Amino acid sequence: PNPIKVGFPVSVSCVIRNAGSADVPAGMYTIGLLWDGKNVFYGPGTVSVPAGGEAVFAIEPDTWQLTINKAGSYEYILVIDPDGKVPESDEKNNVTRGTITVEEVGKESGQ
């Protein structure tokens, strides 16, 4: 949901880009998610990423869910291939981070 509300599951997805010359098969890499400094997800990459292309990865809700029980701002860090199993020319471009605001139910965004 956008914005994220207290007590509702958070959907997690990202676009994975492969600037290399070889395909990266599903299962060859892992994905890690830290939420507010805590490791909350670590699992296999379930999509293949073609050479020079991209793929959308989404954590399936029946596999894993994150529900936030307190309003506030939270930092997230999403890491693709945290174990370095995929040979790459640039290991430093596998991380994205940001801040997400979680609102109380009934509060409209921006109020």
pLDDT score of 12? 86
Is residue 45 exposed (0-12), middle (13-18) or buried (19+ Cβ within 10 Å)? buried
Helix (H) or strand (E) holding 88: none
User: Model's pTM, two decimal places?
Assistant: 0.82
34/39 Cα distance (integer angstroms): 4
* Contact call for residues 76 and 97 (beta carbons, < 8 A): yes
What are the 10-residue block averages of pLDDT along the chain, 111 residues in total?
A: 81 91 94 94 93 92 84 94 90 92 77 52
Provide the 3-class DSSP secondary structure of residue 17: strand
